[in-house]
Amino acid sequence: MVRKVVLTNGLRIILVPEPSSVASTVLILVEAGSEYETKRTNGLSHFLEHMTFKGTKNRPKPGMISHELDSLGAQSNAFTNQEYTGYWAKVQSGKFGKILEIVSDLYLHPLFNTDEIEKERGVIIEEINMYEDTPMRRVQEIFTTLLYGDQPAGWDIAGRKEVIRNLSREDFVDYRNEHYVAPKTVVVAAGNFKEGKMLREIKTIFAHLPRRPRVHKAKTKILRMRGPAVLLKHKTSDQSHLVLGVRAFHIFDKRRFALDVLADVLGGGMSSRLFRKIREELGAAYYIRAGADLYLDHGYFEVSSGVDHLKIEKVIDAILGEFRRVCDEPVGREELQKSKDHLAGNLLLSLESADELASFYGGQEILTRAMRTPKQVIQKIQRVTSGEVQRVARALFRPRELNLAIIGPYKHAGHFKKRLTL
């Protein structure tokens, strides 16, 4: 029942009708994230996202948008990642037309008031400070810096404080004019709504959005490895946070479904190999998980955990041991099917709400310009063989490709680098 419509200006509309839903969601996505920035503007995509809520042509005063959304009983937010930015709101179905107008207003008509920019600088800097004091999150940023170095793929999404302090109103206007154009925009409506009426309203609102050429992000350079790499951040803490992983491939690679199954086998749930080994047997961590992040021209596989300082070496050895095992021994039929069913079940359960449906279809469209249904994704997962899982593991898990990021009370990377062997 999913419908895709492309307007003459290049804007894409995705309609995901769900008549039984009590709620509806509007989600607007744009191809503009931290990987579209320069070093001088790192953090601008995220800062701009904040500023859209600080006043629009139709709602010029700060707080008007949030007050109106709260009055409708709506849930709303925005987010920025490496390759796109999103704005969304969810409300009971009878009020859907109103949130479409509100979210479209903040997307299309931000004022970028200079006084509000000055105020929001402090908010952004405190957000950066918050992440600095959240090692479970911060270690992820350190890991991507280790993988990609001083290029957009290796920079923090929130940016650097010195950049945030110097961004001008002209920077916001220029960036928005360059990236917030029709061919780079996707509008998603999901939930209980009248399809014909919704399509007409979206067309009316967005028909005037300019059709300018799509500006592509800089191509990510894949650093050549001469051996395993370690990046430490010294911090006095009650536990160590680590990410151990490897570079993988882009989102269009046919092996992505085998990689998803591999991740689930290793660290996808409470019955996964790493959970049983590190939490249940060693008692060394509360959380341990594995996963893959794939982008337009790069990607990586990682295992992350927060561990007892005294057991960090055992944890690293245990993770590497499971890497070796999955390369040497094919995953058994029962374990393989369990992981595939786990992935399928989690996918279906995650799509019970209108906002998740919008994100599922919109996220595919904004990155790949194509969409699979949940059924089609599950079919791809179920077709993965044990041999495919082993082959992707052997392709990725190589000694010279290993990367380890750690936040904890350590000062010498060499000690950990010696342990990175398969």
CB atoms inside a 10 Å sphere around CB 364 = 18
Q: Which residues contact 329 (CB under 8 A, 6 or more apart)?
A: none
Domain ranges for the chain: 3-206, 229-417
Q: Could you report the per-residue pLDDT of 105-142, keeping only the tens digit for each? A: 999 999 999 999 999 999 999 999 999 999 999 999 99
How do residues 31-75 score in pLDDT, each as one tens digit? Answer: 999 999 999 999 999 999 999 999 999 999 999 999 999 999 999
Q: Are both 3-206 and 229-417 of the same fold?
A: yes
Taking 90 as the threshold, does the pLDDT of residue 150 lie above it?
Answer: yes
Distance in angstroms (rounded) separating the CA atoms of residues 274 and 276: 5
CATH of 3-206 among 3.40.190.10, 2.60.120.10, 3.40.30.10, 3.30.830.10: 3.30.830.10
- pLDDT computed for residue 140 by the predictor: 98
The pTM is what? 0.95
The set of long-range contacts for 267-275, using a CB threshold of 8 Å and a minimum separation of 24, is: 267/291, 267/303, 268/339, 268/342, 268/343, 269/342, 271/338, 272/339, 273/322, 273/325, 274/303, 274/318, 274/319, 274/322
pLDDT at 224: 81
The mean predicted confidence, pLDDT, of the chain is: 96
Span 229-417: which CATH code?
Answer: 3.30.830.10
